Structure formats: C-alpha cells, structure tokens
Amino acid sequence: MRVDIYCLLYYFFCLCYYKISGFIIFFMSLGGNVIMKEWYKELVVYQIWPRSFCDGNGDGIGDLEGVLSKLDYLQDLGINCIWFSPLYPSPNADFGYDIADYRDIHKEYGNLDLFKQVLDGAHQRGMKVIMDLVVNHTSDVHEWFIKSKDPSSPYHDYYFWRKGRLGGKLPPNNWLSCFEGKAWEKDEKSGEYYLHVFAKKQPDLNHDNPKVRQEVKDIMKFWLDMGVDGFREDVITFISKRKGLPNGIPLPIGCGIEHYMDGPNIHKYLGEYREVTDKYDCFTVGEAPMMTPDNALKYVDEKKKELDMMFHFQHIEADAFLIDFLQTKFKLKEMKKAFTNWQNKLNGRAWNTLYIENHDHPRIISRYGSEKYRVESGKMLANMYMLQQGTPFVYQGQELGMLNTRLDSIDDYVDCFVKNNYEVAINKLHMNKKKAFEFAVKSTRDNSRTPVQWDDSKNAGFTTGTPWFPVNKNYKQINAKAEMADPNSIYNHYKKLIKFKKENEVAKWGDYKEYYKNSDKLYVYSRSYNGKSMLVINSFSPERVPFEAPKGFDLDKGTPILCNYENNFVQQNGFKLRPYEARVYLFD
Ligand code: NOJ
C-alpha cells in the first residue's frame, strides 16, 4: 500500500513537472527571449563594393590588391566579417550584378589566387567572408545565355524565352523591367523574346528548370569548398515566376512584380539551396524588396530556416514611395514604425539584419541626417540602428561619414537605375527636366559608389591613376586619415560602437522597447537582458528638443556611454537635447 502511494506521488510530480515545463516553453515562445546564439548573430559585417574600395594597381579601379592592403584597417575598425559585392567577371552593365562567370574573379579585380590570399588574410584576422550570390539573373554574355539563344539547345530552358504576342510584334506580356523599359528583349535571329526583370543585359534564370537549380547548388559548393563563410543572396525572393507569366497590373513602375515576388515555388527552391548550406558552417542573408516581417518569418523563422537573415527595405523607405527616386518628405515616425515592427515581430523567432546604408542607396548623413551637423548626425545614426537587436552591416565609407556627391548633368552619372528613372519621370510622369534631375541627384546609387576617401592626397589616396568615377570633392576634409587621427571623429565613434556591440550582452541579445512613438524628432528605445538595460536616445532634429526620461529610468543611476557631444552634461531626467544629440545609458 505504501509503495502505491509513493508511486502515485511520483506520477503526480512527473505530471506537474511536464505540465510546468510545457507551460514555460509555451510562454517563452509567446514573447520571451528564446534566442539561439549562433555565431553569425555576433558579427559586425562590412560591405565592400570592390570597384570603389581601394585600387592597388593604379588602373583607377578598386581591386583585391587594394583590399589586401586594407585588411589591417578593417581589423582595427573591429569588424569581423566582410561581404563582397560581386567580384566575378562581368561586362558591368550593373557593376557586377550581371555575372558572366560564377567561378572566377573579374580581371579588373585580380584572380582566384589573389582572392584566396584575401580570404586567408581575413580568416587569419578573425574575419569571416561572404560572397554575393546573384542567381536571379546572369549577364547576357554568360555562356549559358549565349547558348540558350538557340531554341534547340539544352540551355534554351535555362532562361525565359517566349514567343511574342500579335505574331511577335508585342512582347509576351506587359511586365516592366525594374531598370529599363519593358521586361522583354527580342532576339532577331530566333524571333523570340527573353525576360529580364532588371537591365536588358541581365536575363532572368529559370529556376523551375532543375538543371538551373543544380547549377546554383554547384556554384554554392564551389565557393563554400574554397572556404567562404556564406552568401548574401541578391533579390532572392524574385527567383520563382508565376506559371504562364500572366500580365501584371498596368502600373508605370514595377508592372508584373506581383507575379515573381514570393513566387509559387520560392520556398521549395530556397529549401533546396538550404540543404547545401546546411552542410557547411556558414550563414546566408537574402535580399528581399517589399518584404514585411510576417512574410519574412516564412523564410527566416528559427524553426524552419531557409535563410538565416533577410534584408528588407521598409525602414529606408521613410522618405520615398517604393523606390528612392520617388522622394517624399522624410518621416521619422515611419522609419521608427518599420524598425519597431521588425524588432518586435522577429524577437525570439528570427534574427534581424541592421543596416541603413549600402551600394543601392544614397549616403545616410545626406539623406536622414544633416551635412551641416555631419559629425553629430553621423554618430547618432550609427547608434540608432546598430544598437537594436540584430547583426549590423556597415557600408564602405559609412564609418568615415562620407556624403552624397553632385555631378553636373545626368550624362555624368553611370547608374542604369537612375538613368531609367530620370527618363520615366520626364516621359511618363511628365516631370520637368530640372526637377527630374534634382530627384536623380539625391537618389542615385552613384552617391554611395564614389571612391572611398583614404587621405587628402590626389584622388583621395584611392588610386594613383585616374579614378573610374569622380572622387567626391570634399575628400580634403573627409577622409580616413583625418578621421583616424581625430579622437572625436565619426570613425572613432564607429570603432567604439562596434566594440561595444560585439562585447555587450544587452546590446547583442536584449529585448527592445520603444518610447516617444509619436515624436517626429526623437527615436528612443531601450534594450534589456538578464536584469540589465540600456536606454538609447536619438534626436533627428537640428533644433533643441525637450526630453524627459521614460518612466522607470533614472538617468542619475545610469552610466552614459557612446554620446555624440562632450560628456559635460549634468545628469538630469529632464533636459533639452542638442541638435542630433545621441546618448546611450547603461543600467545594472
Ligand atoms: C540588388 C542589388 O543590390 C543591386 O545593386 C542590383 O542592381 C540588383 N539587385 C539587380 O541584381
């Protein structure tokens, strides 16, 4: 009898244990912080757009020799991963995003041996290296495309070749290219059209063809076997097109996109590519235009990851309608809403990327900050995005506070996207030329693609030759040498910030909470982790703005760090923030 009671008690305890632990897991998954601490979540990634980074051989074009010479600079900055924008052979219709050979290095940049030296050099310095994987399209000079022009070739079905409508007079459907005119180009010899959702020289690959998917897997293996640590996957959510390629909603921009964004087989194809990367100790980050956090979870949820992280565009569109060219007034509230939404929705379920500048957008100080308050606003913007939860990405020159450029005429620009937008604005939206040019100057990708300013010598120390694209005229004042020498520079702020982000547990793993949601001048949030917290205060205003510490934060008890004005302020819970002031307080 006694034994039975013990048995009963034992069963009772077991039941309670399982119920309680079940509840704990249930509540944790509801909103608690169940973050898997994978290594890629502790990286700070630096993006190199090779053509403009550093020229090692004096031909005016950035190259791998130049990169080799700057590995110590990158290590000193504290970054621990490099993302290379395309280094592959390319006719440069879209500066490398039109690839002619996936298994080689462009002659302008060096060769595979030199790349291996860079890879080893980076690894020796504790830095990972990821490649850009551009497989939505190839270049039109890729051998697959050249062979595919023959309708009887096995490569024909590597691309989307279709007969035109009206006996070939009209393209197969009404889709528009994101970069230039219609999304179809006719091959006069065969009379068929091929699809290009980007530039004419970027024909789309047909991932419905298993042979194409095998090629992609082989390309991934090629680089992973060489030792690279992962991929940034270009417009990867565009790779599955709707069957039959039906007409799109007839809009002047982006017509047809609804038939290839998150297409019908996207998860199947990404699942297959994931099987390759799962065999290696690597990570992937996918580029996903028009992505929402709910949709993103279908790709990056910890429980079923097709990608480890995702670049979305919602926060950077706070001053534009769909594309940077269509500018609107900058609305801080929209930017905050997007950041907060991604922070909250992904927390504990997936991992965010953190970026505000890259090779596709203008420079952030000119865009969201102030050139007049360059140093203050540059540091504030850095704190603002990097101290959120996620893996931060820094774009070359961002750490130097580089600014937008201004050239004299549209013909001086080289970005195919801006040239197309300028034409569309004039011819379809009936904008006058002057206004269209101003929109172009502000939005062009060329703004972030000017050569990196290393010092105040000729051509900013970027090259001993003639730079392929004009160096920004402000290089005498803004350059790495000057930035490194000044303890209060933007560069030295990034250096401190990167170190802090890599080392501080709250900055890495903490939960996020936003305050002052309705302010169009202040962006204030806190992070908390294991009983510690951090308050991040950012002013986006050139004026003084009154500030009251949010309830529960006594600034007297906090430790101020990473501020962008001298730390001469009296600790109070209510005060006026100075132009673009940024303060961070830590609480134990
Ligand atoms: C996104 C890349 O970031 C951009 O530079 C490129 O032009 C398009 N994808 C097309 O590859």
| 394-407 pLDDT tens trace | 999 999 999 999 99
pLDDT band of residue 239 (cuts 50, 70, 90) is very high
pLDDT band of residue 482 (cuts 50, 70, 90) is very high
How many residues are present in the chain?
A: 588
Residue 298 CA to ligand 1 center (angstroms) comes to 23
Q: Please name the amino acid found at residue 569.
A: F
Say how far apart CA 509 and CA 527 lie, in whole Å: 8
Beta bridge partners of 137: 204
pLDDT at 417: 93
Alpha helices in 250-360 (DSSP H): 266-277, 293-300, 332-346
C-beta separation of 290 from 209 below 8 A: no
C-beta separation of 448 from 359 below 8 A: yes
Strand order in the sheet with 511-515: 511-515, 522-529, 532-539, 582-587, 559-561
| Residue 587 pLDDT greater than 70, yes or no | yes
Say how far apart CA 440 and CA 423 lie, in whole Å: 10
C-beta separation of 308 from 285 below 8 A: yes
Alpha carbon distances (Å) from 462 to 110, 409, 479: 17, 24, 10
Q: How far is CA 354 from the centre of its chain?
A: 8
Task: Assess whether 234 carries a catalytic annotation.
Answer: yes
pLDDT at 569: 65
C-beta separation of 239 from 231 below 8 A: no
**Catalytic one among 98, 229, 287, 399?**
287
Which atom of ligand 1 is nearest the CA belonging to 137? 11
pLDDT at 358: 98
Q: Please name the amino acid found at residue 106.
A: H
| Residue 3 pLDDT greater than 50, yes or no | no
Residues 6+ apart with CB under 8 A from 17: none
Alpha carbon distances (Å) from 266 to 236, 259, 310, 434: 9, 12, 14, 42
Could you tell me the two tokens for 95?
Answer: 């500066």
Instruction: Tell me which residue of 325, 311, 313 sits closest to 422, measured CA to CA.
Output: 325
Could you report the per-residue pLDDT of 19-60, keeping only the tens digit for each? 444 444 444 444 455 789 999 999 999 999 999 999 999 999
C-beta separation of 431 from 438 below 8 A: no
- Global pTM value: 0.94
pLDDT at 35: 83
pLDDT at 322: 83
DSSP-assigned letter for residue 399: G
Say how far apart CA 214 and CA 356 lie, in whole Å: 34
CA atoms within 13 A on the CB side of 451: 29
Sign of the torsion formed by the C-alpha atoms of 422, 423, 425 and 431 = positive
Alpha carbon nearest to ligand 1 atom 8, residue: 97
pLDDT at 573: 87
Say how far apart CA 87 and CA 102 lie, in whole Å: 9
pLDDT at 10: 46
Considering the chain, what percentage of its residues have pLDDT values greater than 70? 94
Task: Assess whether 371 carries a catalytic annotation.
Answer: no
β-bridge pairing 45-48 and 391-395:
parallel
Which atom of ligand 1 is nearest the CA belonging to 94? 7
DSSP-assigned letter for residue 525: E
- Rounded to the nearest 5°, which phi and psi values hold at 534? -145, 135
Provide, for the chain, the percentages of residues in helix, strand and coil under a 3-state DSSP scheme, each rounded to the nearest 5.
40, 15, 45
Q: Please name the amino acid found at residue 432.
A: N
Residue with tokens 């007409």: 247
pLDDT at 502: 98
| Residue 567 pLDDT greater than 90, yes or no | no
Ligand 1, CB within 6 Å, residue ranges: 94, 97, 134, 198, 234-235, 287, 359-360
Which atom of ligand 1 is nearest the CA belonging to 416? 7
DSSP-assigned letter for residue 241: P
Alpha carbon nearest to ligand 1 atom 3, residue: 360
pLDDT at 211: 98
Instruction: Tell me which residue of 184, 198, 179 sits closest to 138, measured CA to CA.
Output: 198
Say how far apart CA 278 and CA 198 lie, in whole Å: 30
Mean pLDDT of 115-135: 98
Most informative mutation of 195, 198, 446 for ligand 1 (most atoms within 8 A of CB): 198
Residue 96 CA to ligand 1 center (angstroms) comes to 9
Could you report the per-residue pLDDT of 278-306, keeping only the tens digit for each? 999 999 999 999 999 999 999 999 999 99
Sign of the torsion formed by the C-alpha atoms of 177, 181, 187 and 190 = positive
Residue 234 CA to ligand 1 center (angstroms) comes to 6
Say how far apart CA 414 and CA 138 lie, in whole Å: 20
Alpha carbon nearest to ligand 1 atom 11, residue: 97
Say how far apart CA 84 and CA 46 lie, in whole Å: 9
- Rounded to the nearest 5°, which phi and psi values hold at 233? -105, 115
Instruction: Indicate the SS3 state at residue 103.
Output: coil
pLDDT at 440: 96
Could you report the per-residue pLDDT of 70-110, keeping only the tens digit for each? 999 999 999 999 999 999 999 999 999 999 999 999 999 99
pLDDT at 511: 97
**Catalytic one among 94, 140, 234, 483?**
234
Instruction: Indicate the SS3 state at residue 77.
Output: helix
Residues 6+ apart with CB under 8 A from 401: 365, 374, 375, 378, 478, 483, 489, 490, 491
Instruction: Tell me which residue of 254, 250, 243 sits closest to 207, measured CA to CA.
Output: 243
Mean pLDDT of 164-175: 97
Mean pLDDT of 377-388: 98
Residues 6+ apart with CB under 8 A from 388: 339, 343, 352, 354, 512, 525, 527
Segment holding 561, helix H or strand E: strand 559-561
Residues 6+ apart with CB under 8 A from 408: none
Say how far apart CA 306 and CA 324 lie, in whole Å: 29
Could you report the per-residue pLDDT of 151-161, keeping only the tens digit for each? 999 999 999 99
| Residue 445 pLDDT greater than 70, yes or no | yes
Most informative mutation of 99, 177, 234 for ligand 1 (most atoms within 8 A of CB): 234
pLDDT at 253: 85
Most informative mutation of 235, 312, 324, 443 for ligand 1 (most atoms within 8 A of CB): 235
| Residue 162 pLDDT greater than 70, yes or no | yes
C-beta separation of 352 from 389 below 8 A: yes
Alpha carbon nearest to ligand 1 atom 10, residue: 97
C-beta separation of 500 from 562 below 8 A: yes
Residue 205 CA to ligand 1 center (angstroms) comes to 15
